[in-house]
Amino acid sequence: MQLSPSTKINDLLSTHPFLEDFLAAYNPHFAVLKNKIARATVGRVATLGAAARIAGVDIGALLRDTAAAIEKQTALRPEISASGGGINREQRIAMLGHIISELHDGGDLATARAHFAQAVGDVDAGEIADMEEEMIRGGLPVGEVQRLCDVHVGVFRDSLDQKKELAPPADHPVHTYMADNRIIAALATQLSELARKLDADASLAAELLPVVTAALAKYDGVDNHYKRKENQLFPLLERHGVTGPSQVMWDIHDQIRAQWKLAKKAAEAGDIKGLVDGIPALTRGLVEMVYKEEKILFPMSMEKLSAEDWVEVKRGEDELGYALAKPAIAIKPSSLKMASAPAVSPAPASTSSDLGLLNLGTGALSLEMVDLMLRHLPLDLSFVDENDVVRYYSESKERIFPRTPAAIGRTVQNCHPPKSVDTVNRILESFKAGKKSVAEFWIHMGPRFIHIRYFAVRDGAGKYRGCLEVTQDIGSIRALDGERRLLDWKD
């Protein structure tokens, strides 16, 4: 076996397992190799050269001493080559992961910063994303990556701060996200200042509590910002194979949501201590998320997503709406092409017309998928067209009212007892005239409580196209009380 700076540690330990103890004793920084997470992530691609740089040891001495340890154990001395010391992208990612693994094992942040400067020196958003991907694939729980996220952003902050500020065109979704962030940062500052004032002088509570409550009421705007990321930006990144940042950030979103809920509850209860104790963590989470978005997520997204991807992001975000900043101007695909990655993402399989799928606007399903989906809904559906002809009913497992195939093609009036026809006609005439859009009833049927609703179905131009009947047993729903936030399956 030949030893060189490019020898992978994983290969070395697979051939000579005894070297794990040797390296751990050789330098404290190598003790991380005993960590299963480090071995599963960093160890697969890290080299002796990279490890030597992180530990600050001479690579020549490390090679000679390792060769001597092998010779002592096996009586065979490997050849030593000084070549192959360059650090490629894969190895840089491994080195980043090594630094994070040291921190995970209780390492010092200042030391990690120094190792980062020695071993890497610079980093881009893609490498941080790849590092998170590598660690998650290696078995590190997403929640653990979330805990490390603040730490590794702290390690890389000096390098990230030197990156050129993003300046997307005014019609780009990232421009709107960044405008949101100015509002979110200002809100975090306001909440921090209010908490400091309450902490310094509790007698100001009567004056400041309404201000705190009003500030916390702006949460819907922050939540809208996060939901746009979760439902539009993250799915597009996932099409390009980037899942780590979205998993981690979504987890942090939920943490911020929980902190906000606690702060709001404290404000409503006049709990000054709860506010003083809780607001700092909330505001820190908000401003750290702004930083992570603008230094990591958004630059990476601009690299990965094509102009066509961004048009899709914008279209979906328009449907979700904007609660903080509004898009500056209408989107122009031409400017997106200058600000985004080339169009490399393949069309998702669900929109491929040659697969026999029905294009449903927000997705595409086969006839079998549609039928299965409708059969599994916990309610009964019936559809009557604009001419009052029954066209469809769902075949759910436990139908409430009987339906048979003979109903298909009949006028809906003939499917009801004579005493009900006047009511049916009144509903349909009102729907057709545009006077009403919903009619609902609820009745007891033995132990069941049945909710029946009729909805006018209109096309994009507002033209009446039929009536949808939805029937559901809501007895168990009415009986619900309190909350259930955890899975409660009985084995």
Do 213 and 270 touch, CB atoms closer than 8 A? Answer: no
Q: What local confidence, expressed as pLDDT, does residue 44 receive? A: 57
Q: What local confidence, expressed as pLDDT, does residue 136 receive? A: 59
Q: What local confidence, expressed as pLDDT, does residue 380 receive? A: 93
CATH superfamily for domain 365-478: PAS domain (3.30.450.20)
Q: What local confidence, expressed as pLDDT, does residue 232 receive? A: 84
Q: What local confidence, expressed as pLDDT, does residue 68 receive? A: 92
pTM strictly above 0.85: no
Pick the CATH number of 173-339 from 3.40.50.740, 3.40.50.2300, 3.30.465.10, 1.20.120.520: 1.20.120.520
Do 279 and 192 touch, CB atoms closer than 8 A? Answer: yes
Burial class (CB in 10 A: 0-12, 13-18, 19+), 58: exposed
Q: What local confidence, expressed as pLDDT, does residue 336 receive? A: 53
Q: What local confidence, expressed as pLDDT, does residue 338 receive? A: 43
- C-alpha count within 13 angstroms, C-beta hemisphere, residue 68: 8
Gap between the terminal Cα atoms of the chain: 53
100, 117, 195, 333, 350 from 109: Cα distances, Å: 10, 12, 28, 43, 46
* Degrees to nearest 5, angle at CA 310 with 304 and 313: 115
The domain segmentation of the chain, as residue ranges, is: 2-161, 173-339, 365-478
Q: What is the mean pLDDT of each run of 10 residues along the chain (491 residues)?
A: 81 87 81 62 65 77 90 88 62 68 72 65 64 63 59 67 81 92 91 88 89 90 90 85 79 90 92 89 87 89 90 83 79 50 42 66 87 92 95 86 76 80 94 96 91 96 96 93 84 64
Q: What's the per-residue H, E or C state across 150-215?
A: HHHHHHHHHHHHCCCCCCCCCCCHHHHHHHHHHHHHHHHHHHHHHHHHHHHCHHHHHHHHHHHHHH
Do 282 and 256 touch, CB atoms closer than 8 A? Answer: yes
| Alpha carbons 352 and 176: distance in angstroms, whole number | 31
Q: What's the per-residue H, E or C state across the chain?
A: CEECCCCEHHHHHHHCCCHHHHHHHHCHHHHHHHCHHHHHCHHHCCEHHHHHHHHCCCHHHHHHHHHHHHHHHHCCCCEECCCCCCCCHHHHHHHHHHHHHHHHCCCCHHHHHHHHHHHCCCCCHHHHHHHHHHHHHCCCCHHHHHHHHHHHHHHHHHHHHCCCCCCCCCCCHHHHHHHHHHHHHHHHHHHHHHHHHHHHCHHHHHHHHHHHHHHHCCHHHHHHHHHHHHHHHHHHHHHCCCCHHHHHHHHHHHHHHHHHHHHHHHHHHCCHHHHHHHHHHHHHHHHHHHHHHHHHHHHHHHHHCEHHHHHHHHHHHHHHCCCCCCCCCCCCHHHHHHHCECCCCCCCHHHCHHHCCEECCCCEECHHHHHHHHHHCCCEEEEEECCCEEEEECCCCCCCCCCCHHHCCCEHHHHCCHHHHHHHHHHHHHHHHCCCCEEEEEEEECCEEEEEEEEEEECCCCCEEEEEEEEEECHHHHCCCCCCCCCCCCC
| Alpha carbons 60 and 69: distance in angstroms, whole number | 14
Q: What local confidence, expressed as pLDDT, does residue 102 receive? A: 72
Q: What local confidence, expressed as pLDDT, does residue 343 receive? A: 44
Q: What local confidence, expressed as pLDDT, does residue 177 receive? A: 94
| Alpha carbons 324 and 322: distance in angstroms, whole number | 6
